[in-house]
Structure 1
């Protein structure tokens, strides 16, 4: 599998269907984080969408959110 291969999936943001292209590894982490915090992927994507800047794509905002989430979690685990 290529590291930059993108998988397109449909999600719902505020009841509206939209497609997002992310790497398979990012989709897997997105599902894991949603499960860990007790929500589904659509709800987590809504949360991210509501907080992203207007210039940012949803795909990019998801990646940045996940990196930030995992970075904070990693720092907490080291304490």
Structure 2
């Protein structure tokens, strides 16, 4: 995968996420549209998909997939 790794926070936990540049651009655009920062969006995505407090285990590969699905879902909802 050709991607860029960035450090983010999910709740109080720091982790890194590797996404393609286009996905990072899309996520930043979502942040601008929703007036939230990347850490807030990532925490919301994690909590929505796991139903756990943010200090629980954060699995990098699974979370990256969840983030991609969130980005796709966001833009699909706009397209409808």
Tell me whether the two structures share a fold, i.e. TM-score over 0.5: yes
Q: Which has the higher contact order (CA 8 A, sep 6+)?
A: 2
Query: Quick one: distance in 2 between partners of 1:39 and 1:72?
Result: 18
**Structure 1 outlier segments of 4+, above 3 Å:** 53-56
Asked if 1:45 corresponds to 2:42, the answer is yes
Structure 2 regions of 5+ residues with no counterpart?
Answer: 52-58
The equivalent residue for 1:71 is 76
TM-score, length-scaled by structure 2: 0.82
Asked if 1:14 corresponds to 2:11, the answer is yes
Q: Secondary structure at the match of 1:21?
A: strand
Q: Please say which structure displays the higher CA radius of gyration.
A: 1
Note the alpha carbon deviations across 1:17-41, whole angstroms, 9 max, x for none.
Answer: 1000110100010011011011000
Q: Secondary structure at the match of 1:9?
A: strand
Aligned length: 72
Structure 1 regions of 5+ residues with no counterpart?
Answer: none
